[in-house]
Structure 1
Amino acid sequence: MKLWRYATLLCLILALLWSWREPLASASTQARCVIFTETAEDGGFTVCDDDQAQFLSAYERWGPSQIGYPLSRRYEQEGFLMQAFQKGVMQWWPTDQQVRLVNLFDQLHEDGFDPLLADYFQTPPQLAADAAQGDDFGQIVAARQALLDSRPRLRDFYFANEEALTFYGLPTSPVTDQGNHVAIRLQRTVLQEWKEEVPWAKAGEVTVANGGELAKALGALPPAALEPLPWAQLPAATPTPPPTPAGTLYLTFDDGPDPENTGRVLDILDRYDARATFFVLGRSAATYDTLLTDIYARGHGLGNHSWSHPMLRGTSFQTFANEVQGTGNLLGDHNSWCLRPPYGEMDSATYSNAAALGYQIVFWHTDSWDWRRPGVAAIVSNVVDNVFPGAIILMHDGAGDRSQTLEALPQILQILTERGYRFEPICR
C-alpha cells in the first residue's frame, strides 16, 4: 500500500500552492525536541527540529487543538520524512525545506478505503476527479468551496480559518446527512456539524475529524513507526497525572449487568451515597436492558466492555468495531464513550482503534481480584490497602458467583468512607 502517492497533477499543484510554509532551516540546526506521552501506552513520541526536518516549529505554530498529539515516530515514505498526528500527517519537503500537510483523505480514497470510511466513520464518499467544474484553477477552487454553501455553519467554520486551504484543503464531497450530524469531506479532513448533543460536541457545533487516528485504525500508517519510544530511549520526563478532586475514588464494575447481582450492588452503593461506573457487556445488556436504565437513573455511569468479552488486542479493526459499536448502540444516550477492553489486554492498536470510534480507554489502579473469589477478607484488603486519591478500583458484578463481592463491598465502602473518601463515577 502506498498511502502517500499523488494520483493526479492537480493534487500535486494543490500541495505546492497550498502548503503550510515554514521558514527555511539554517545549514546546521541545533536539535530541539519535545516529548509527548498522550497517545502512547508506554513511553512516548518526540517532535523535533533538527538538520533533517523542522516538525516542532510547525507543531508549535499550529498546536494540539489543530493537529492533535503525535501518533508516530518520524518515518520515511517515498523519499519524504513524515510524522503522523491525531488530526493529520506532516511531510517535510527537503527541496525547499518546508512542512506540508498530506492530502490524507485523498490518499485514503486512492487506496480504496472509502467503504470502510463510510461504514465505520460516517465519511462521505469522494466526488470523482472529473466532477471539478472548469479548467481554470480559480474556477475549480470556487466550485469546490461552493459545496459548503448548503450549510452556513460549516461554511463559516471553514472560512473563519484564514489558512483553510492549507489546513483543510478543498471540499471533495457535498454535505451529506449522517444521522446525528452532517459532514463534508475535504482533502485533508472531514468537517462535522452536530444536529444533537454528543459527549464531545454540543448541538450546532462544528468539529474536525481525527484523520490521523482514522488512518492508523485502518492500517494506512507504517506499523513500525507507530511503536512509541520506550522510556529508556527518551530524555528524562515525568508524566503529569490529570487533576483529581481530593479524596475521590472511582469504583468500577465489569461484566454485567446481571439479574442476580447488579441490583444488589446498586442497593449497597445507595446506602453509602456512592456512585460508580458499570462497564457492561452487550450480550448481557441486550437481555437485561432495564438494569441499564436503573444504573443510570441512580446516578452511575455506563461504560463499554465489548459485546462478548473477547480478547480485543490483536484483532482486526472490523472485529474491534463490531464488538464495541454493538454495545455502544445499546447504551444509546447513556453511553459515556468510555471503553475497558476485556482482560485489560491492550496494545497501541487498541488505543488507536478506540480513539477512531470516539472512545477513551479506562484501565484501573487497584484490583480487588474478586473474580478469583479469594475470600471476603482478601477482597477487602486488596482494595483498602492499595487505594490513593484518584484511584480507579476494579470489581465485578457479572460473570458468575459474586457473593464474596457483595459481602465485601459494604465493608470496603464503610472503611474508605470513614477515611474521608467519596465515590464518584469515572465516566458518566
Structure 2
Amino acid sequence: MDTIIERIKKFNAPLLPDKVQLKYRAMTESPFRFFRGTCHLFYEDLARVKDFPVSPPVWICGDLHLENFGSFKGNNRLVYFDLNDFDESMLAPLNWELARVLTSIYVAFDTLNLTKAEADTMVKLFLKKYSEVLQSGKAYYIDPRTAGGIVSDFLIKVKKRKEKDFIKKIAAPVHKQLRISINDQTHFAIQKPLKTDLMQHLDSLLEKSTAWPNNYEVKDAAFRVAGTGSIGLKRYMFLLQNTKNKADFLLMDLKEGTRSSLAPYNPIPQPQWTSDAERIITTKYRMQNISPALLSTTVFKGDTYVLQEMQPFADKINLDVLAGNLKDMQCVLLDMATLTASAQLRSCGIQGSAINDELTAFAHETAWQKTLISYAKSYAGQVKKDYKQYMAGYKSIKTK
C-alpha cells in the first residue's frame, strides 16, 4: 500500500498547486485538523473493512464532523444552527455518516486533551439521542427560538451581528472606493484578466436572474481560502454594491464543485446529476431545514460552481472553549445528534433513500451500535498514527 504522504498527494493532485500547500500546512496543526483535511483516507480505509454494520441508504453530508455544524442565515432571513457542508454529500449507507461523526468526537477529544472515558461517554450519549430522534420519525430544527443552553447563547450572539461590521472586517477603502482587503492568508489577489472575467460573469448572472438581487453590481473580487478539506479548490469572493443605496454592500462566495471523495467506494447507485455543484446544493436543500440565502449553481470557464451569500451569521462553536465545560459540550453534541437524525428523516424516501418507516425500525435496533463505536474508537487511533506519519513526511510534501 502507498504511504500516507503518497495517498494524500495523489488525491490532492488536481488542486491548485500553490493553494494546496496551504492545505498541507493547515493539516499539520493537529490530528483533528488532519482528520478534517483527509476525508478521502477515511473512506478508502472504510471500504476495506469486512463485516461493517449494514444500514439503510440515506442522504449523508459525507464529511460529518464537529466543525461541520454551524450557524447561517436562511433564505427566509432567519438564523439557524445545522449541518453546513455538503461537498462530499451522496446517497450512502447511514452508518458511514455515523462512523465519520463518532470518529470525529474521539479525535477532537484527544486533540483537546480530554480523556478517553469522557469521549466514550459523549459518543454513547450522541448515539442515544440520535436513535431517539430517528425512532420518533420527526425531523427537528434549531433556531434562536427553539435552541437551548450554549447553542441558544451562541445563536443569540450571532443574530446580533451587523452586515456593516462584517463588511468592515473584509473590505477597506481604496481611493475612496471599498475593496476586499488582500491579506495573503484567507484573501488573495486575482490576476487582472481572470478577475475581469469573474466580475463580468457574476454581473451577467445578476442581470438575468429573477431570484437574485439585480439592484447590485460587482465591485471587487478575490481568491478565497476557507475550511480545510476544500483548500486548493477554485474559490472566489465578490463584493457587491447596491446601485440605489451606495452604503449597502453584499458579499458572495463562488466555490468549485468537485467529485465526492466517497464516490470511488460507494456501492449505492446515484442519481444522474448534471454536475457536482447540482449534487451539492440539491442535497443541501433536502437535508437542511432551511438552506442559506441566495444558493444556486453556475458554470464558469467549463467548471461548475456553487454560489451563495457570505454572511456575518456564518460561524462555528469554539470547541476549545467547550473543552473546559463538559456540560456545555454535552448540550452541543446532543443538538448535533438531533440535527444528524433530522437531516436523514427530512430527506428520506427521495431517489433511493430509505423511507421513514425503515429508519425508525433501524433506530429501534441496537446490535449495530457497539460495533460502530468500536470502529470509530479504533479508527481515531489510526488517525493519530497517520498524522504522526504525515508530520514525519511533511517536508517531502511541502514545496517552496
Q: TM-score, normalised by structure 2?
A: 0.25
- Structure number with higher relative contact order (C-alpha < 8 Å, ≥ 6 residues apart): 2
Is the helix fraction higher in 1 or 2?
A: 2
> Higher Cα Rg: structure 1 or 2?
1
Q: TM-score, normalised by structure 1?
A: 0.23
